[in-house]
Structure 1
Amino acid sequence: MIAIFDLDETLIHGDCVTLWCQWLCEQELIQDIDGFLQEEQLLMEAYRAKILDQQDCMNLVLRPIIHLPIEDVHSLITQFVHEKIAPIVYLAGQRLIQEHYEHGDDVIIISASPQMIVSSIAHICFNVNQCFGINVVQKDHHYTTKIQGVIPYQSGKVNVFEIYLTQHDINPNDAYRQSYFYSDSSNDLPLLEKVAYPNIINPDDELRTIAEANNWPILHFTTTLQEK
């Protein structure tokens, strides 16, 4: 069995890109804070409207740190995860991942957020090593903002999952018959509709309506580490 998880608003009570942008401002890495945060809000509105250009998103959220060596970026991200993400992890999400591990299932996180941030959150907060986000080109030991590879957004999550299956020599038909997918967002319908066990967590209004029509389980995660 394979358990696939979305990240933002599914395993954590928030969006890691929004929180990253706010944290960059707190760290005084942004000069025009008001303009930067306004641009981020416009991108989030585009995401909810399903018209987001992910390259625009990467341009904004990575631009403030591309002058830093990769090692320094990773140190910043580690600090960010401990300060801003760890406190808002859903305890039920952590338990659910642990239950899948105890049943011998593979666990994967697939997120339309930057891979460098996703991988750090997956490892630090959930002990998950198999994770996929948006990758960017590296040049001279620095990250750039240029996206490379498949973007795990909307139908791209299906493509990323099938790349994982190919890498592990798993037949896709067999995999889909034995896979769970947990998500909050109607953006993830392409993958939710393919797996045998779609599970909905704290859904948006559109996804709630679809889940109820299809009798998909709807889970409500509330308590975070911060609220424990």
Structure 2
Amino acid sequence: MDLVLFDLDNTLLIGDSDFEWAQFLISRGVIDPEVQEAKNQRFYQQYVDGTLDIFEFLEFQLSPLARHPRAQLDAWHAEFMHERVLPMIGDAARSLVRDHLADDAMVAVVTATNSFVTGPIVREFGIEHLVATVAAQENGQFTGKPRGMPAFKAGKIDRVDDWLERIGLHWGSFERTWFYSDSHNDLPLLARVSDPVAVDPDERLREHAEAAGWPVISLRGAF
């Protein structure tokens, strides 16, 4: 059996769900547009540049979850899926996931974006397993803080290790291990698997992939 891991934002999605969720909340007047949009743009650029402070970003990203009841958040998320997420899912991404699932691989999404935002997106792809940054909860209400290690950079390896251990598996349980990603931020996990694949990569990842002889593919042709 193979283990197939996918990054989500700008890999399976033609866009960034983190960024779009904040923009969606701004559009609904849930968070202040002038201050928050500038912060959202700044954090996204820091991510692209590889300089993001993940804990500072998570304070920005998770704090709105703590200010609203779960029922309201779920209602907003349903609108968000329809308006923002579904247009970012191309046929090529759906086909690639289906092919790996048809081969009886264990398929998971591994993403720094929190599990509240990403859970419904991953289910839309028919993927059972999600390894993500976890938004902490108390009594069914989000606290605005992360729980445990964020699934970011080398933290993705730690979170995958923990997930595999919880289900009684380990890296050696698989014949081949795959990871698809667009970002140089994912180089630690890309280097950990037997079959790294660069998907519509940023410039730094493309240079690394070409030097290492990794496959470089695009999932945007069918958008």
The TM-score bracket by the shorter chain reads over 0.9
Aligned to 1:21: 22
Aligned to 1:144: 143
Comparing 93-102 with 156-165, greater Cα deviation is found at: 156-165
From 154, 176, 179, the equivalent of 1:178 is 176
- What does 1:58-137 correspond to in 2, within 5 Å? 58-124=58-124, 126-137=125-136
Cα RMSD of the aligned pairs, angstroms, is: 1.5
1:154 to partner: Cα distance: 0.5
**How many angstroms does 1:212 deviate by?**
0.5
- Take 2:146 and 2:165, find their aligned partners in 1: how far apart are those partners? 22
Q: Check if 1:188 corresponds to 2:180.
A: no
Q: Percent identity?
A: 27
**Structure 1: 5+ residue stretches without partners:** none
Q: Please state if 1:213 is matched with 2:214.
A: no
Residues 177-207 of structure 1: per-residue CA shift (max 9 Å, x gap): 5111000001111111111111110000011
Q: Is the 8 A contact 1:12 1:88 kept in 2?
A: yes
1:182 match: secondary structure: strand
Counterpart-to-counterpart distance in 1, 2:82 and 2:155: 29
* Residues matched between the structures, number: 222
Offset at residue 136 of structure 1 (A): 2.1
2:199 equivalent to 1:201: yes
Q: TM-score w.r.t. structure 1 length?
A: 0.92
Q: Residue by residue, what CA displacement relative to the aligned partner does 1:131-185 show, whole Å, maximum 9, x if unpaired?
A: 122112212432121111121100011111111221222232344x511100000
Q: How far apart in 2 are the matches of 1:98 and 1:69?
A: 35
Deviating 4+ runs (over 3 angstroms): none
Q: Which amino acid aligns with 1:109?
A: V
Compute the TM-score of the two structures, normalised by the length of structure 2: 0.93
Partner of 1:3: 4
Q: Deviations over 1:6-53 (max 9, x none)?
A: 00000111111111111111112123x121111111111221232322
Q: Hey, what's the Cα distance between the residues in 1 that align with 2:146 and 2:31?
A: 22
